[in-house]
Structure 1
Amino acid sequence: MAEAISFLRAVARSPMRTMRYQDARGLGSNSWRVLDELVDQGALKRLARGIYTAPPDGRDARTWSPSLEIAGLAVATARHGSRNAILMGLGAARFWGAIPRSVGATVVAVPVAGRRPLEVGTGTVHFAYRELERVEAVLQRTELGSGLIATREQTLYDLLMRPAQGGDAEAAVEGARNLLPQIDVTEFRDLVATAPRVNDRVRSILDSRRGAS
């Protein structure tokens, strides 16, 4: 019992309440057995193979699941460390309420290239390599704790530049359309001014908002 409590507390104290098995091995013996028992009891949720999260507010993990967007951000945070992952694109648009319907994919920016998509629950998390310091993001509270979310302006830019990223171009178009009234035009213009490239969709938005502030 004491060993199980130690594991549970360690997961709950981790960034976004999520930990990899390989980081839990040093907590005690029979790590797999203890973690499996905690999952069976509903004390922990297995987000993906070898990645566990502690439900907030004592919820039963057998009936509770985080949203795909937050689960993806939590997985990336467990892999790369606190503040080393940013919810972006489709995921950020969902977070900002610009895509009100459920989407079966989300996108998380990470500092390492070559990460394959990961099935989490009934959806897919796509990991996009980015120089994170070049992504405009803000720290926001989520159901699993604080995490970095691309700003509305950054999200609009990403959706316009890469509508197919995440595999749902229709949702990207919907998200961009709904984000447009929410953005700060000056901030969007400044972001585009420092962007490495700009396509016709972005230029069209700038032209349509010319003179707005």
Structure 2
Amino acid sequence: MTRQTGLPAELAQAPLRTVRARDVTVYKHVRPQLARLTQAGLLHRLANGYFTVVPQDRVGAEWMPTLEAAAAGVAAADFGARGFALMGISAARVHHALPRAVGVALVAAPRRRGPVHMTDRNAVVRFLIRDVAAMEVELTETEMGRCLITTPEQTLLDLAHRPDRDALDEDVEAAMRALAARCDAALLAEIAANQRLGRALDRVRRAGLAT
């Protein structure tokens, strides 16, 4: 057991402190025990079947992680701590390029995965199949733990690459402007060439965000 009374190490040591109920082996009757720990304030239910450990200094208080951290926790439970990357609008949020919270999180994943609808808020986590190893990513700290997110340059190109943008046009435009201010033009061109994102780079240039 951990210092959080009644919390097994299997839960506390899970990637980004998040588990899927179906993966928990420490209990014979898993769901009633997870419900008990949630009621006790030791776990927080993110979505159907997904639970995350509440930070020790927040036990007994109202706590809910940011959507981006929660999405990372869900993805870590599915793909492992380094098997995914926050991308698009979610990476922009972690880069502080967009101050306003949005109701969609975007994750680069190694295989097909349907959207996860959060149960602790009105939000959804969407997954796009990507070769994470081929993307420009960096390891960043979130309130759930460390995870991969796309770099500012990769994030800017990814935002420009997706014209649908989940109906978040104004937010995306603001994020692109903020990201462009910290991007290296040569690196943008290199990433675009390596990942066949030439059209995205053209959109960035036409918007006056890069040379």
Fold shared by both chains (TM-score > 0.5): yes
Q: Output the CA distance in 1 between the equivalents of 2:151 and 2:99.
A: 17
Q: Which moved more, 1:6-15 or 1:42-51?
A: 6-15
Q: Which residue of 2 aligns with 1:58?
A: 57
Opposite residue 36 of structure 1, the aligned amino acid is A
Q: Conserved in 2, the CA contact under 8 Å of 1:109 and 1:132?
A: yes
C-alpha change, 1:163 and 1:173, in structure 2 (3 Å) is farther
Query: Which stretch has the larger CA shift, 180-189 or 88-97?
Result: 180-189
Runs of 4+ with deviation above 3 angstroms = 4-8, 204-210
Q: Does residue 162 of the first structure (1) align with residue 162 of the second (2)?
A: yes
Aligned to 2:109: 110
Structure 1 residue 163, shift from structure 2 partner: 3.9
Shift in Å at residue 186 of structure 1?
2.2
TM-score (norm 2): 0.89
Instruction: Indicate conservation of the 8 Å contact 1:106/1:166, yes or no.
Output: no
Give the Å deviation of 1:76.
Answer: 0.8
Q: Give, in angstroms, the shift of residue 134 of structure 1.
A: 1.6
Describe how 1:28-107 pairs up with structure 2 within 5 A: 28-60=27-59, 63-107=62-106
Give distance in 2, aligned partners of 1:64 and 1:167. Answer: 29
Aligned partner of 1:140 in structure 2 is 140
Structure 1 position 143, deviation (Å): 0.4
Tell me if structure 1 keeps the 8 A contact 2:191–2:197. Answer: no
Give the Cα separation in 1 of the matches to 2:146 and 2:154: 19
> Percent identity among equivalent residues?
33
**Whole-Å separation in 1 of the counterparts to 2:60 and 2:163:** 34
The one-letter code sitting in structure 1 at the alignment partner of 2:99 is P
Change (3 A) 1:91 1:61: farther
Separation in structure 2 between the aligned mates of residue 54 and residue 32 of structure 1, nearest angstrom: 15
SS at match of 1:127: strand
Provide closer, same or farther for how the CA distance between residues 90 and 61 of structure 1 changes in structure 2, counting only shifts above 3 A: farther
- Identify unmatched segments of 5+ residues in structure 2: none
Query: Which stretch of the first structure deviates more once superposed, 14-23 or 56-65?
Result: 56-65
In the other structure, the counterpart of 1:122 is 122
Q: Could you tell me the TM-score, scaled by structure 1's length? A: 0.88
Following superposition, the deviation at residue 36 of structure 1 comes to 0.4
Larger proportion of helix:
1
Tell me, which stretches of 5 or more residues in structure 1 are unaligned? none
Q: How far apart are the structure 1 equivalents of 2:86 and 2:167?
A: 16
Distance of 1:189 and 1:6 partners within structure 2? 52
SS across alignment from 1:74? helix
Q: Over aligned residue pairs, what C-alpha RMSD do you find?
A: 2.1
Instruction: In structure 2, give the amino acid aligned to 1:135.
Output: M
User: 2:65 is paired with a residue of what secondary structure?
Assistant: coil
SS of 2:198 mapped into structure 1: coil
Q: Which amino acid aligns with 2:130?
A: R
